[in-house]
């Protein structure tokens, strides 16, 4: 089973709201990722967790706050977002980090609209 | 530094004909290369990867790719295209010890009936 699940599928929020995106995998993977994807563009890496510790932060604004409560779960907390943050947010997981040649498996994404 | 180029924004092919989606890469050291496909409003689906060994890699849904070190290419191929293959295809690269998967800009494949 190579399934990564994400909730919610769609999210509409105002610029003053606080919301969270959730990601879950049960493949025993130890690396998890958040990507942001704009329409017809490649995914842009935001955060990488390895063994539940933040490994990479791609200079993401502080209005995005990741959290890895355990090895199966990854959250992305959103606060005071801007309309330009509207995008598809993808979660991925892999057995180990990318440099080991491990395959990243992606979830279906959360379509976020910031009004 | 590492980078990937997908020179074609769009590839058009008739159903039943062979298809090729091009990818070239630039890395220092040995590359790990991947192909992903994305259908509208969906996540990325893994198709295949090259790590080491045989230069011809076979993957899901009848796709294959050939690693060419001298030309630094990793083109995606399929002998007979299906309308259902129409989607956005991404090539990606990472080299040993570098933690970030770098994606190409994507190629839209349109297969006409």
Determine which of A44, A58, A101 to mutate to test the interface with B (most B C-beta atoms within 10 Å): A101
d(CA A89, CA A86): 9
C-beta separation of B20 from B77 below 8 A? yes
Mean model confidence pLDDT for chain B:
94
Q: Which residues pair with B76 in a beta bridge?
A: B21, B65
What is the model's pLDDT at position B97? 67
Q: Is A98–B43 a contact, with Cβ atoms under 8 angstroms apart?
A: no
Determine which of B4, B44, B104 to mutate to test the interface with A (most A C-beta atoms within 10 Å): B44
C-beta separation of A66 from A49 below 8 A? yes
C-beta separation of A104 from A93 below 8 A? yes
CA dihedral A113, A110, A93, A33 (to 10 degrees): 10
Chain B residues touching residue A43 (CB < 8 angstroms): 44, 90, 103
pLDDT in tens, chain A (115 residues): 569 999 999 999 998 899 999 999 999 999 999 999 999 899 999 999 999 999 989 999 999 999 999 989 999 999 999 999 999 999 999 998 777 788 999 999 999 999 9
Q: Which residues pair with B3 in a beta bridge?
A: B26
C-beta separation of B74 from B33 below 8 A? yes
pLDDT band at B8 (very low <50, low <70, confident <90, very high): very high
C-beta separation of A1 from A27 below 8 A? yes
Q: Which residue from B32, B36, B100 is facing A56, i.e. has the nearest CB? A: B100
Q: Which residue from A41, A56, A111 is facing B99, i.e. has the nearest CB? A: A56
pLDDT tens by residue, B16-57: 999 999 999 998 888 899 999 999 888 999 999 999 889 999
∠ at Cα B33 (B70, B105), nearest 5°?
100
What is the model's pLDDT at position A62? 95
Q: Which DSSP letter does residue A30 get?
A: S
Instruction: Determine the distance in angstroms separating the CA of B37 from the nearest CA of chain A, rounded to an integer.
Output: 11
pLDDT band at B2 (very low <50, low <70, confident <90, very high): confident
What is the model's pLDDT at position A1? 58
Chain B: residues touching A (Cβ < 8 Å): 32, 34, 36, 41-46, 49, 51, 88, 90, 94-101, 103-106, 108
What is the model's pLDDT at position A2? 67
- Sorted by sequence, the CB contacts under 8 Å of residue B57 that are 6+ apart come out as B48, B49, B50, B64, B65, B66, B67
């Amino acid at each position: 089973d190579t399934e990564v699940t994400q909730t919610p599928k769609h999210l509409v929020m105002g610029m003053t709201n606080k919301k969270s995106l959730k990601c879950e995998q049960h493949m025993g993977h130890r690396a998890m990722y958040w990507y942001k994807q704009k329409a017809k563009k490649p995914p842009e890496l935001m955060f990488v967790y390895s063994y539940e510790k933040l490994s990479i932060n791609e200079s993401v604004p502080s209005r995005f706050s990741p959290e890895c409560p355990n090895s199966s779960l990854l959250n992305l907390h959103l606060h005071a977002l801007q309309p330009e943050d509207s995008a598809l947010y993808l979660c991925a997981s892999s057995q180990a980090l990318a440099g080991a040649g491990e395959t990243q498996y992606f979830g279906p994404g959360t379509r976020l609209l910031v009004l | 530094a590492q980078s990937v180029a997908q020179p074609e924004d769009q590839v058009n092919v008739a159903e039943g004909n062979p298809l090729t989606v091009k990818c070239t890469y630039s890395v220092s050291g040995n590359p790990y290369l991947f192909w992903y496909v994305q259908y509208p409003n969906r996540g990325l689906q893994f198709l295949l990867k090259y790590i080491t060994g045989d230069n011809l890699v076979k993957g899901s849904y009848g796709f294959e790719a050939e690693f060419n070190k001298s030309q630094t290419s990793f083109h995606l191929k399929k002998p007979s295209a299906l309308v259902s293959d129409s989607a956005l295809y991404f090539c990606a690269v990472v080299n040993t010890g570098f933690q970030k998967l770098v994606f190409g800009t994507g190629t839209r494949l349109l297969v006409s009936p």
